[in-house]
Amino acid sequence: MRNKISVLTIMMIVFAALWIQSCDTSNKKTKKDPTKIKVSGSMVAELTAPPLVPKPVGNREATKLIVNMEIIEKEGTMADGVSYMYWTFGGTVPGSFIRTRVGDEVEFHLKNHPDNKLPHNIDLHSVTGPGGGAASSFVAPGHEVVFSFKVLNEGLYVYHCATAPVGMHIANGMYGLILVEPEGGLPPVDKEYYIMQGDFYTKGANGERGLQPFDMTKAVKEQPDYVVFNGSVGALGGEKGINAKVGETVRLFVGNGGPNLVSSFHVIGEIFDKVYIEGGSAVNENIQTTLIPAGGSAIVDFKVEVPGNLVLVDHSIFRAFNKGALGILKVTGEEDKTLYSGKQYEEVYHPEGGTIQTMPEDSAAKPHPQAVTLEERIAEGKSIYASTCFACHQAEGGGIAKTFPPLAKSDYLNADVNRAIDIVLRGKTGEITVNGEKYNSVMTAQTLKDEEVANVLTYIYHSWGNSKKEVTPAMVSAIRNKK
């Protein structure tokens, strides 16, 4: 009798254990060994230029996916008046977006255009194999190589050129993203975009005009002149910006090509609902800023609830406001005042404050010597420009697209000298149009003496194609005393 009971108990325990185990695996969604996934049929991969991505894989079976990638070396625009010789995968920086699923067998055709000067290759971080494909893909101008690989790990991966000097090939724009979706695809969203950060090193300083060659010394020192999204300053701004409607879910596939810098990726005015950390499977929630290593990525998902311009930045913030790492995601739709009120109230508040703030006065600063001739005024003004205006209006008065208006050949500046004096004395807010572009930002009032205002404006009027007016201290004091 006692024996029978114990046998029964043991059997019950065994059954219970088996049952618990079966529950456990059904929860985990049984994962196939990716090396064993069979492919059916074949198709040519859709490749897209940034900021667009190919359509999701959805429920499609693993297949033989043919990727046709062409390497093109071509001159492009880095910033207003600044051009650069880019080396590209597919004609854009970053290169064409490739979208695959786990188990796909990718047949990669890498073509080096006959007009190109150099050999190249490709290292895809999604490849399990020597050099990520680099060893088998070295291709001379006017040639095509073919290699294939099975996609084993899901995630968002960087690809890049790995031909010596590797740093130089990457610095010239040879990187892009390849997405490997899980079986059944990523959870669907309303809008998907492709963004990649990169740092660039030019012979001339930021804003210096003309075709700028690559600067190896600055690259080795890791001192970029430009840090940008999608290959150039303003590539994600204005008309070229990305958009969504209130209530939509947005997914950004964000990569960092480097070659050197790590990105503190942040969207001003949003919180990431989900971040696929480092482009892998682990999901973190409610994130303000996510770190994206050079040669790494992240997938960020968020829902947009209020209309307005969301500003994408590298939160290493001088890169954003001084080197170009700025982008705009435009959200349109109905306002919801319970979520965000907008400005509710404003009045002039004295003393001190208001929306225009005065720069703190540096009492220790030594006074500038009095200028007598026009040449002295210009020379004095140049040094004031470098210490006071340069940070925003930039070298050569080039400004920063959408943020700081240009002073070079500025129709706004040249139209009205008294207005220019007033702006330097009292600051400026509200929408203005300079050379056909709208700006709506804040310039702080500058704490400068009449003599200094006269000198800096005279310097600006005598530089960069402006109208060569001389501004005198008397003109400045007249505006200062006008209420």
**Which stretch in 42-50, 97-105, 268-276, 405-413 sits in contact with ligand HEC by CB under 6 A?**
405-413
Q: Which is nearer to ligand HEC, 98 or 378 (CB)?
A: 378
Q: Which does 125 bind (CB under 5 to 8 A by kind): ligand HEC, Cu ion, none?
A: none
What is the total count of residues that contact ligand HEC (CB under 6 A)? Answer: 30
Site string for Cu ion, 95-134 (x = CB under 5 A): -------------------------x--------------
**Nearest approach, Cβ of residue 158 and Cu ion (Å):** 14
Q: How far apart are CA 94 and CA 49, in angstroms?
A: 8
Among 111, 160, 169, 462, binds Cu ion (CB under 5 A): 169
Among 124, 244, 300, 424, binds ligand HEC (CB under 6 A): 424
Decide if residue 291 touches ligand HEC (CB under 6 A): no
Site string for ligand HEC, 426-465 (x = CB under 6 A): --xxx-x-x----xxxxxx-x---------xx--x-----
Q: Which is nearer to ligand HEC, 237 or 405 (CB)?
A: 405
Q: Which does 391 bind (CB under 5 to 8 A by kind): ligand HEC, Cu ion, none?
A: ligand HEC
Q: Which is nearer to ligand HEC, 316 or 435 (CB)?
A: 435
CB 160: neighbour CB atoms within 10 A?
27
**Contact set for ligand HEC, span 350-389 (CB under 6 A):** 388-389
Q: Which is nearer to Cu ion, 137 or 466 (CB)?
A: 137
Instruction: Report which residue's Cβ sits closest to Cu ion.
Output: 161
**Nearest approach, Cβ of residue 246 and ligand HEC (Å):** 26
**Nearest approach, Cβ of residue 136 and ligand HEC (Å):** 51
Among 78, 156, 161, 457, binds Cu ion (CB under 5 A): 161
**Nearest approach, Cβ of residue 473 and ligand HEC (Å):** 15
**Nearest approach, Cβ of residue 214 and Cu ion (Å):** 12
Q: Which is nearer to Cu ion, 115 or 335 (CB)?
A: 115
Q: Which does 163 bind (CB under 5 to 8 A by kind): Cu ion, ligand HEC, none?
A: Cu ion
Q: Which does 444 bind (CB under 5 to 8 A by kind): Cu ion, ligand HEC, none?
A: ligand HEC
CB 26: neighbour CB atoms within 10 A?
9
Residues that bind ligand HEC (CB under 6 A): 388-389, 391-393, 404-407, 410, 412-413, 420, 423-424, 428-430, 432, 434, 439-444, 446, 456-457, 460
Residues that bind Cu ion (CB under 5 A): 120, 161, 163, 169, 174
